[in-house]
A and B are shown apart, each in its own frame.
Chain A
């Protein structure tokens, strides 16, 4: 069904946009609401939901078969992240990783692809609780206090496990780079 929808989106059929919104509206609005936080206004969420569908409509030609849901989810998350950043600096943006500089544009593209694979690998290898904390913080941009409340644990535990997640990610990236 997704591939059929994607084909119609690629052909820029307006009904396909309606169908996509009907199917994925709840998913997209949930992601955006969770990134913006509980104080998010309905207007902001609505605006970003529309932006997300618009962006996917415009770029349907570059979405591979089977990836519509993933593409929508990532677009929703990234739109909400940019929206937050425009308002104020994100506390989690302080955390950066050191990565080697690419020597040339072709190498940069290859490195980015490899880096994305390693990021997925590192996250998949985290313990389930650590992974949830890591994703809630860095992916859904939730504060440590918010995560602590949702997951019923002390904020210090959340921070400690975030440290462990960061280390694991850096090590996975470093280890493979040394190869």
Chain B
């Protein structure tokens, strides 16, 4: 079954994008007049609705058996014949149980402060190792939400504000990766859809937490504030409400550079001169056997598409792919395997320069073959290397050179 991506998003609700305001002002309401009594089209709509309801009622009385919505629609003529939404989006749990009294008077007058902090100190639901969501700070000037959390293996870490060196060091520690990634995944999954902003008018806006793992670290994002919205006065997690308080001394975190530098264009062309078999793809047959944590497998080959710079690792393992799913340890473990090669595997170009190869940010399965792919351009950009137009010569892993086919 094929489905258009545009249609796939019919049930999606977005309020994160800053949209252009229409250049024509108030197309329906008249300015500077009491709105309810000076609306043109709304009044027409209301009048037609009243007529429609009366018409439907008359139809109901006069047509035996026509007690359905069809009779209502037929009698109006102007009623839309089609509605495009079949269901409604999920809402955070506990929306209806909001306790207004939980908002203190001073929190409602904090909108002039740039930084508003809600201290949550929430344990991650279902987690026994001690990961906690500490607080959420709103930067009202930039419309950003900054989250601070605590993890068991990096107690002082502030994601996004951790020194890049500390993060880099930690990423080379497999134990850290195992715990950190599983905890981060758990954190994101646990809070998604259960957190929401609370506004002075009691309306709510769900927050979601996005988490992505990249070769050079984690990027965590939280729903930005809509510029259209009023300042929220609190954050609600299920039934608990956490009020925002202004913090004039708050220093916004500086994200490690490696987390925010992306290449401007991923399609960096490489020269295909080494493509000996002429299939357009450079293939290095590796067949490297590995063992780890009682499991074993082989990295079969690595391919490189010179046109897009996409690099794919192919692995054969000795266990069912299905068993690996749901266990974050294995995802972390696979990354660990590749991190081993991140330190020892290089792509050597014909001009003698080299690029250290890293792990991918995507994981997939197909017929027992595990594969991960990384856009080579991304890795190159992270290492400050411009590979545009360069000619790959061979892959070097440890002391062995693997030439392309």
Q: How far is the CA of A141 from the CA of B36 in the complex (A)?
A: 33
Question: Would you call B64 an interface residue if the criterion is a C-beta within 8 Å of the partner chain's C-beta atoms?
Answer: no
* CB-contact partner of A154 in B16, B20, B265, under 8 A: B265
Which of B12, B95, B201, B265 is within 8 Å of A120, CB to CB? B12
Are A46 and B96 in contact, with the CB atoms below 8 A? no
Q: Would you call B2 and A179 a contact (CB within 8 A)? A: no
The answer on a CB contact under 8 Å between A42 and B24 is yes
A116 CA / B1 CA spacing, docked (Å): 16
Total A-B Cβ pairs within 8 A: 232
In the complex, chain A residues whose CB is within 8 Å of the CB of B224: 128
Q: Name the B residues within 8 Å of A175 (CB-CB).
A: 363-365
Q: Is B58 an interface residue (CB 8 A)?
A: no
Residues in B whose Cβ lies below 8 Å from that of A38: 20
Residues from chain A with a CB closer than 8 A to the CB of B325 are 178-179
Chain B interface helix/strand/loop/mixed: loop
> Roughly how many angstroms separate A120 CA and B15 CA in the complex, as a whole number?
13
> Is B10 part of the contact surface with A, judged by Cβ < 8 Å?
yes
> Do A57 and B228 form a contact, CB below 8 Å, given A21-B39, A75-B85?
no
Encoded as 1 (CB less than 8 Å from any B CB) or 0, chain A from 80 to 107 comes to 0110000000101101111111100000
Compute how far the CA of A45 lies from the CA of B1 in the bound complex, rounded to whole angstroms: 34
Q: Closest residue to B11 on the A side, CB-wise?
A: A116
One of B4, B6, B15, B204 near A73 (C-beta < 8 A): B15
* A interface: dominant SS: helix
Q: Can you list, as one digit per residue, whether each of B196-218 has a CB less than 8 Å from chain A (1) or not (0)?
A: 00000111110011111000000
Task: Determine if B84 and A127 form an interchain contact, defined as CB atoms under 8 angstroms apart.
Answer: no
B19 touches A29 (CB 8 A): no
A1-39 vs B, CB cutoff 8 Å, 1 = contact: the mask equals 111000000001011011001100111011101100010
In this complex, how many residues of chain A approach chain B with their Cβ under 8 Å: the count is 98
Which B residues are CB-close (under 8 A) to A160?
Answer: 265-267
Please judge, given known A-B contacts A21-B28, A74-B89, whether A120 and B17 are in contact too, CB under 8 Å.
no
Interface string of A55-85 (1 = CB under 8 A from B): 1011100111111011101110011011000
Give the Cβ gap from B225 to chain A, nearest Cβ, in Å: 13
List the A side residues contacting B276 at CB < 8 Å.
none
Q: Does any Cβ of A come within 8 Å of B262's Cβ?
A: yes
Residues of A within 8 A of B (CB): 1-3, 12, 14-15, 17-18, 21-22, 25-27, 29-31, 33-34, 38, 40, 42, 45-46, 49-51, 53-55, 57-59, 62-67, 69-71, 73-75, 78-79, 81-82, 90, 92-93, 95-102, 113, 115-117, 119-121, 123-129, 131-132, 135-136, 138-141, 153-154, 156-157, 160-161, 163-164, 166-169, 171, 174-175, 178-179
